[in-house]
Each structure stands twice: as C-alpha cells, then as structure tokens.
Amino acid sequence: MLRSVIRRVWRPVVAVAAGVCAFVGMAVPAPAATQARTAASGYLNLHQCVYYSPSAANHFTTVVPSGDGRFMAGTNVSTTADSSPSCGGGDGNYTPIGLLSGVKALNLASGRYLNVHQCVYYSSSASNHFTTVVTGGDGRFATGTNVSNTADTQVACGPGDGNYNLIPLLSGVKALDLTSGSYANVHQCVYYSYSASDHFTTVVPSSDGRFMAGTNVSTTADSSPACGGGDGNYTPIGLLSGVKALSVA
C-alpha cells in the first residue's frame, strides 16, 4: 500500500518538473531548421554580360571579370538591388550585347539555397553557343536562378528563339547552401573550339560533367578559377575565365 501511495505522489511531481523545464526553455530544443545559421541580408546582384563578334559570328558570356580584365561584369553583394547590368566595353572585336545581357537581384534573406541555373543555347546555322544564368533583357532566353529554402535539382531554362535552341547536355543547376560558409565563390570557365571558332561559358558543371566550374559556398575566399579540361575539342581559356568571392555572411 505504501508503494501505491509513493507512485501516486511521484507521478504528479514528475509532471510538474517537466512543465517547469518546458516553461523556462530548458527541456525541449528548438527544431533543427530554426537553429541553422541564416545567410546575410542584402542582395547578391548577379550580372550577366554577353559579348559578340560580328566577324566571328560568335558570343561568349561573363558573370565576373575575365582574367585579363577586358570583359567586365558587375556581380556584387550589396544592400541595394541592382536593376541594370554593368558590363565592360569589350576589346573592340567583341562588344556587349544589351539584349542578351541582364541582372538579377537575389535576396539573400529569402532562403537557404542559392540555386544557380545555367542555360546553354546553340545555333547550328551559326555553329555558335552562348550561355545565360539570368534572364536576358528581351526575356527569350530565360533561366530559373533563385534563392529559396528548397534546393533545386533540375535546371529551368527557356526554349530559345527558334534559331538558338537549348542544349540540355551543357546546361545544369547547382544548389549552394548559403549557411555553409562566409563566401559565395562564383567561378566562370570559358571554353573555346579552334576548329569551330566558338566559345561557351560554364558557371556550374555541365549536366554531362565534362565542362566543370567550381562555383561554391565556403569559409574560404577562392582566388583562382577551377575549371575542367574540356572534351578535347573545347578547351578552357584562362584569359577569359575568372572567379569572384562574394561575402554572404
């Protein structure tokens, strides 16, 4: 009988103790999703500059300045959302094409993942590729680059304009966890085929993995671009490639 009394007394005491702990915030940890470090506030302004040579009938794209500094792109992190692309004047042969260039202001506070979508288009009549990572000025060559709480796994691209069509094998998407480091390191790898007199650019790896680009989020600021070796026909051009480390924390 004494044991029965002890049990009846002990149970309410345990319940009261648990209630007190919950009240002062000691007993139940916050869910993991609310404990994750959030990215910085402000905007990652992703600038896309598409250059063209009429004599070569050839485009290429920069999102960060090229290694030689002739082909600029104003990608930055700021408290201000940029509304127009900032591009260099080119080298006299290749000049910027405003219709294909563009900028997207990505709100860093709106989600955990920076989803970089890369869309590569090709014209068989011109034997010419070009790349978009944000939607160009005329909207025909759309891309799905965004900041979200969801990690994208499939690239979202527009179909092109009938002459230039999407090449899924060279397109791709990479979800960058903004809470995993202090820097978003944007790598730009420009490849060139001497036989076709044709450039194209990758910012994330192509879907087939042959044309790499080392874009990442890290605690370290990258200082040199990480690019793949190409496929034997298209090879990396160091002078046009580049990297920019953007503070996101």
Paired tokens of 44: 């990652």
Could you give the CA distance from residue 212 to residue 209 in angstroms, rounded to a whole number?
A: 6
Confidence at residue 41, expressed as pLDDT on a 0 to 100 scale: 80
Whole-structure pTM value = 0.84
Residue 144 has a pLDDT of 98
Alpha-carbon span 158 to 131, nearest angstrom: 12
> Which position has the higher pLDDT, 34 or 147?
147
Residues, the chain, total?
Answer: 249
pLDDT per position as a tens digit, 203-227? 999 999 999 999 999 999 999 999 9
Summary mean pLDDT of the chain: 89
Among left, alpha and beta (phi > 0; psi -120 to 50; other), residue 114 is: beta
pLDDT at 10 over 80: no
Parallel, antiparallel or unpaired: strands 128-132 and 113-123? antiparallel
pLDDT value at 9 more than 50:
no
What is the reported pLDDT for 38?
A: 55
Q: Is the pLDDT of residue 37 over 80?
A: no
pLDDT at 17 over 50: no
How many CB atoms within 10 Å of residue 221?
15
Report the percent of the chain where pLDDT is more than 90. 83
